[in-house]
Amino acid sequence: MSRNVIVGAEECVSCPKCQHQFPLEQGISGQTIDRYAQDFEQMLSAETRKRADKEAAQQVAALKAQLAESDRAVKESRAQIEKVREDAARAAREAQQTEVTSLQEANKAKDEALAKARGGELDLRRQLREAEDAKKSAEVDYQRKLDVERKRIAERERAVAGEEAARQIAQLKTQMEQAQREATDLKRKLEQGSQQVQGEALELGLGAMLREAFPLDRIEEVPKGITGADLLQRVCSLSGQACGTIIWEIKQTKAWQPAWLQKLKDDQRAVGAEIAVIVTATMPKDCAEPFVRQGDVWITSIAAARSVAEALRATLMEMHKLRQANAGRSEKMELIYNYVCSPQFAQRVKAVVDGVVAMRTELDDERRAYSRMWQKRERQIERLSGGMVAIVGDLQGIGDGALLQLESIAALPALEDPAPYEISAHGKSH
């Protein structure tokens, strides 16, 4: 059986007879080498294909096994997922059912509490209405008793005269006031406390506003318990001079009282103020404007207090300026007359006149100097012009008409004697 042996062409072999070594390619012909090389390549290609097919078959089998294993794992995972999903759905249903039950119980408890609260509210409203009705009835009874008492007092006043009548009236008034205090004690205290606090707050706010708006003025607060207005504004100028006084009265009430005007005017005369102002939360009846003047007293709302203060302060400042201007008018007129008749005034006027005369003299000298200088320059220009025309004529004569560009210069008109340049007395040239 023949065997094929793969030997490299450069492999050395020995001659069996002489033992001479030589490369195999020298002992075998090229054709033989090519034939065996082709057979070897075919055999190698077949072996490679067999080995590749075997390896491919093994890989395909391994992939099929892996695919089967993967399918089995996927089925197990799906089964586990489905089981977990069912468990989760069952737990969610149970939790939802529990929450719904809890919410129903909570709503039921809330409904019961709401019904109970509504019942309590109805009872409270009923009691409140009953209390209001009782209060109104008590007020009506009190008013009836008060009317009866007033009629009785009136009858006694007509029947009794002198000191006995005055004593009984005072006693009855005391009894009425006591009964009224007992009936409306809490309400009166609350209202008085609220009005007093609001009045003090309004007074402090007005004082702060005046100090902020007019830092140069002196804002004086009248202490509590002392008869008089609430605030005094001493108006001062930039130099610190006193320009006048504004007296302020603050009223935080629900009704306007005309008696306030006379009281404030009395306080105005006591302090010697020029202007009196009432700042009130309630304007007089039939007054739609934010401020008004009644009986030489300014009445303003709280919102318009600052604007009224600025206007009145400006009025005092102007009055102060007029008083200052009129104070020394006769003395100033006498001083001005003496100054006009004095030698100093005549000397100052003479100095001004002398200055005007000197300026007039210098102006005439300058006019004459400029006239001489202008006449001199005119004569120089005439000589230059005549010389230039003569030169052009000589050149044209030498060139025999070749210098045509000089015709315009040769044809210049003769200069006329210009009028002398004069300067008028007002400094304008003619």
Give the confidence band of 6 by pLDDT, cuts at 50, 70, 90.
Answer: low
End-to-end CA distance of the chain: 151
Most confident stretch, 28-42, 186-200, 378-392 = 378-392
pLDDT of residue 30: 57
Helix axes 185-213, 162-183, angle to 10 degrees: 90
Q: Of 231-240, 331-340, 349-358, which gets the smallest average pLDDT?
A: 331-340
Q: How many CB atoms lie within 10 A of CB 276?
A: 25
Q: Is residue 279 part of a domain?
A: yes
Q: Is residue 192 part of a domain?
A: no
Q: Where are the beta strands (DSSP E) in 286-400?
A: 291-294, 297-300
Domain total in the chain? 2
Q: Please check whether residues 322 and 348 belong to one and the same domain.
A: no
Give percent helix, percent strand, percent coil of the chain, each to the nearest 5.
70, 10, 20
Give the confidence band of 53 by pLDDT, cuts at 50, 70, 90.
Answer: confident
- CATH code for the domain in which residue 273 is found: 3.40.1350.70
Q: Is residue 137 part of a domain?
A: no
Q: Is residue 392 part of a domain?
A: yes
Q: Please check whether residues 320 and 355 belong to one and the same domain.
A: no
Q: Please check whether residues 352 and 320 belong to one and the same domain.
A: no
Q: Is residue 385 part of a domain?
A: yes
Number of H helices, E strands in the chain: 9, 8
Residue 330: pLDDT over 50: yes
Q: Please check whether residues 321 and 349 belong to one and the same domain.
A: no
Q: Please check whether residues 276 and 394 belong to one and the same domain.
A: no
Q: Is residue 403 part of a domain?
A: yes
Residue 400: pLDDT over 70: no
Residue 118: pLDDT over 70: yes
From CA 422, how far away is CA 430, in angstroms rounded?
Answer: 6
pLDDT of residue 420: 44
Residue 235: pLDDT over 50: yes
What is the arithmetic mean of pLDDT over 405-429? 48
| Residues of the domain holding 400 | 344-410
pLDDT in tens, 266-275: 888 888 888 9
Q: Please check whether residues 313 and 350 belong to one and the same domain.
A: no
Q: Is residue 320 part of a domain?
A: yes
Q: Please check whether residues 265 and 372 belong to one and the same domain.
A: no
429 or 372, greater pLDDT? 372
Nearest CA to 142 out of 184, 186, 191 is that of 184
Give the confidence band of 35 by pLDDT, cuts at 50, 70, 90.
Answer: low
pLDDT of residue 28: 59
Residue 278: pLDDT over 50: yes
Residue 75: pLDDT over 80: yes
Give the confidence band of 196 by pLDDT, cuts at 50, 70, 90.
Answer: low
Q: What angle do CA 316, 322, 323 make, to 5 degrees?
A: 90
